[in-house]
């Protein structure tokens, strides 16, 4: 996986803000580089270790530049992508218009045990890696493992627009 655009943007930011303070560097990373790293993260979420570590290297390099530490300061990209995927599935499940084609294909399981929550979604069988590790299947597995209380307080409630006449 080539991250030339990400690295180019990061190096440009590092070159411009060489003498800036850590807050300025951090803000520049958040607004310029991380946006590119997370673009389309709900649908394109790498599952291979090499792809994940390549994305994490860019963030580690930026953290070292901004804070002069190797320790992770920001939320990991993996957890941000997982939240993004879960929010996208929540929007599909709740019938938001943009996600309606995916939401229409979600099915309830045939059987719910005592530990399952009422919003459980039936996982789909796939034979290929592309299907097994797709956005929908990986997110359904994560969704079904969440407790019911968490699904009620997700930070991604569907947006309702009021039509002004």
pLDDT (tens digit, 9 = 90+) per residue, 1-26? 566 777 788 888 888 888 888 888 88
Q: Which residues constitute the domain of residue 126?
A: 79-152
Cα radius of gyration (the chain): 19
pLDDT band at 160 (very low <50, low <70, confident <90, very high): very low
Q: Which of 52, 74, 96 is the last residue of a domain?
A: 74
Q: Averaged over 157-165, what is the pLDDT?
A: 45
CA angle 40, 145, 138 (to 5 degrees): 35
The verdict on 69 and 83 lying in the same domain is no
Distances in Å between the Cα of 9 and the Cα atoms of 28, 58, 66, 126, 161 are 10, 10, 15, 37, 35
Is residue 85 in some structural domain? yes
Do 107 and 125 contact (CB within 8 A), yes or no?
Answer: no
Higher-confidence residue of 24 and 131: namely 24
């Amino acid at each position: 996986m080539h991250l030339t655009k990400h690295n180019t943007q990061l190096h440009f930011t590092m070159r411009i803000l060489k003498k800036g303070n850590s807050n300025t560097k951090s803000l520049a990373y958040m607004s310029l580089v991380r946006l590119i790293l997370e673009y389309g993260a709900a649908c394109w979420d790498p599952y291979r270790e090499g792809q994940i570590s390549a994305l994490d290297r860019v963030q580690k390099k930026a953290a070292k530049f901004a804070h002069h530490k190797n320790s992770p300061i920001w939320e990991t990209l993996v957890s941000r992508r997982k939240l993004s995927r879960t929010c996208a599935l929540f929007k599909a499940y709740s019938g938001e218009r943009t996600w309606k084609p995916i939401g229409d294909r979600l099915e309830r399981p045939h059987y719910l045990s005592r530990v399952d929550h009422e919003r459980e979604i039936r996982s789909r069988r796939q034979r290929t890696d592309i299907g097994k590790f797709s956005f929908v299947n990986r997110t359904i597995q994560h969704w079904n493992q969440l407790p019911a209380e968490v699904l009620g307080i997700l930070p991604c409630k569907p947006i309702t627009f009021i039509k002004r006449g």
